[in-house]
Amino acid sequence: MQQLNKQTLSALPASVAHNVSSTTAQIGIVHLGPGAFHRAHQAVFTDNAMEFGGNWGICAVSMRSTGVRDELAEQDNLYTLAVIDENPSYQVISAIKEVLVLGEQRQQVMSRLTAATTHIVSLTITEKGYCLDGQGLLDSSNSDVQHDLANPTEPRSAIGLLAAALKIRWQRGIEQLTIISCDNLADNGAKLGKAVMAFAKQTDSELATWISTNVCFPNTMVDSITPASNDELRARVAQAIHLQDNWPIQREAFTQWVIEDHFSGPRPAWDRVGVTFTQDVSGYEKAKLRLLNGSHSTLAYLGLRCGKETVNEAISHPSLFNLIKKMLQEEVKVSFTPPPELVVDNYIDAILKRYANQHIRHLLSQIAWDGSQKLPFRLLGSIQDNLAQGNSIALLSVGVAAWLHFLVNAAKTNFKIVDPLADKLISEAAYCSGNLADDVQRLLAIRQVFPESLANNQTFVNALTDAYLSLSELDATNIEQVIDGLL
Ligand code: CS2
């Protein structure tokens, strides 16, 4: 079978969508972190928007790994998006024009970031890529930040890289840039802006002032369930497009992007292809982070303990379904103020339906990554707000307790967890001896995750200890008994 590339594009069957107008566009966007989510989400919106004109080709920059660059090079950076639902559909995306690797192509990355034709820089670098501390501010003790402050022209963190590029734009008088965080952090844009300015201040305070007046960092909410690619997907795509694509991606049909309407300079016609622009993203962000991601993480840690592998398998168990639904309806829903146009009960129902999509295999182990970075936004924020308002936190605490058990179990079985704090988490978890109240206290003392005010809140400590105790018996054989007992 021939490989997907520019030459073979014309052989695509008519059933496969492809926006020809994006094939000739020049680069106008630099994206940091071209993982599956970017290629299934922002790159697709941008590809579709180019139907309405503009040079919005994407230069994608991997911070370290060479995999995406090398694989995509063989197919002229083209790849297939498979939308996996009741009726699957396929689209070849040509918005990505080049992929660079920062570690190996520093000069090229810098020229793209500082080009006057680059109007937008976007990021999907995951929570840990922002180098923030527990307060959401730049963590100056982070080793990458320290490295970049000592070597500002050779940055390895996204924050150092942006500061270095902005310095050159400032010196050359190239104004107007919008930097769009597309990661699952509350107030993602504001946090990114603050971190970049805090970094800049430590190198040149005038630079920080220039950034604050010339560069916009809109907040965003991004959503689309995007499981990792696998051989099954490659086979399926080959069959659909009649070409070999070694790097396809898959996602569910649902996709959403809400961006704060706060730009410095032009942007693609995203508004014509389904992107929502609004003055205030925070309600959308909280709804998504707390309702979807919060329940995702809870389901991941509970499901793994119950011997489940995928989101679909976990949510298909009536007890787990009931627990998640009750947690969302009774505890998460009351923790925040949604945007006026959002009907939260419908949103919850839609999330539960999305989890039940049996056509995609979304691995719980993938969602379980980086718990230390995710839980504060996904569960702890709701818990703190509920405590302040006197609302219940019993079920939210179950998600946190399930994570604690995940750590203790990993320490016991020598399972290597994926988390930037893995060493610290596992060494603390290894001391957990089974005296449940002591275990909880020890883990609550991890300040990078649990702020002091929360760790010292007796209502939370009690709820977490109760949940931790109840879950200690849980395994694949007694799901009803244990989980129903919590409802
Ligand atoms: C998931 C998210 O992996 C995870 O932690 O919760 O990636 C989730 O699938 C997306 O945020 C959905 O938009």
Sequence ranges of the domains in the chain: 6-279, 282-486
Q: State in Å: Cα 225 to ligand 1 middle.
A: 6
Report the 10 Å Cβ neighbour count for 263: 17
Structural class in CATH, domain 6-279: alpha beta
Q: State in Å: Cα 374 to ligand 1 middle.
A: 10
Q: Is the CB of 224 under 6 A from ligand 1?
A: yes
Mutation pick for ligand 1 pocket among 128, 221, 225 (CB with most ligand atoms within 8 Å): 225
Distance between CA atoms of residues 31 and 25, nearest Å: 16
54 and 46 Cβ atoms separated by less than 8 Å: no
Q: What is the pLDDT of residue 433?
A: 81
Q: What is the pLDDT of residue 435?
A: 82
Q: What is the pLDDT of residue 2?
A: 95
Could you tell me the fold of the domain covering 282-486?
N-(1-d-carboxylethyl)-l-norvaline Dehydrogenase; domain 2 (1.10.1040)
Cα→Cα distances 219→168, 214, 279, 330, 425, Å: 24, 16, 10, 27, 30
Q: Is the CB of 184 under 6 A from ligand 1?
A: yes
92 secondary structure, DSSP code:
E
Distance between CA atoms of residues 254 and 261, nearest Å: 22
109 and 61 Cβ atoms separated by less than 8 Å: yes
- Per residue in 197-236, pLDDT (tens digit) is 999 999 999 999 999 999 999 999 999 999 999 999 999 9
Q: What is the pLDDT of residue 134?
A: 82
Query: Closest ligand 1 atom, CA of 224?
Result: 13
Q: State in Å: Cα 233 to ligand 1 middle.
A: 19
Q: Is the CB of 367 under 6 A from ligand 1?
A: yes
195 and 181 Cβ atoms separated by less than 8 Å: no
Q: Is the CB of 295 under 6 A from ligand 1?
A: no
Strand order in the sheet with 256-260: 220-223, 256-260, 276-278
Q: What is the pLDDT of residue 237?
A: 97
Q: Is the CB of 366 under 6 A from ligand 1?
A: yes
Amino acid at 218: P
Q: Is the CB of 223 under 6 A from ligand 1?
A: yes
Amino acid at 361: R
Residue tagged 């790849």 (tokens): 79
Q: Which helix (H) or strand (E) holds 463?
A: helix 458-471
Q: What is the pLDDT of residue 434?
A: 76
Distance between CA atoms of residues 42 and 222, nearest Å: 9
Q: What is the pLDDT of residue 41?
A: 98
Nearest CA to ligand 1 atom 8: 225
Distance between CA atoms of residues 244 and 216, nearest Å: 40
Residues of the chain with pLDDT under 50: none
Mutation pick for ligand 1 pocket among 293, 363, 377 (CB with most ligand atoms within 8 Å): 293
